Amino acid sequence: GKVLNTVCVPIFGMIHKWVFEGVLDDPYGEFFVRAAPWLVQLRKRAHAAGGGLLALSGHEVGSTGSSAAQDLWRDGYTLHAPQLPAFISDSL
């Protein structure tokens, strides 16, 4: 119990930051979610411009007619299967 809880704290922190803040804080490439290269560049430009990502991406994302936010979630991230924790299903 105590060891598992301690081990899960970092992974749950990464999941929380990614889902609720849209931030992948993974300097060592240990997280099972990867940002698409175009999204990484878009985030850098948004940060440099001092604006929000969705405002900057409005014309660059959304070519399929869906909202920019939906495109970011659907096309901006992929799962890295070898690093999926056992408690997360492959069908995610």
| Structure confidence by residue, pLDDT tens digits, 1-56 | 789 888 888 888 888 888 887 778 888 888 888 988 888 888 888 778 776 655 55
- pTM for the model stands at 0.63
Instruction: HSE, CB side, 13 Å, CA atoms: give it for residue 30.
Output: 10
Could you tell me the two tokens for 53?
Answer: 């990502």
CA distance 42 to 57: 7
57-89 per-position pLDDT tens digit: 454 444 445 576 677 778 888 888 898 888 777
Q: What is the DSSP string of 16-76?
A: HHHHHH-----TTS-SSEEE-HHHHHHHHHHHHHTS-HHHHHTTTS-TTSS-HHHHHHHHS
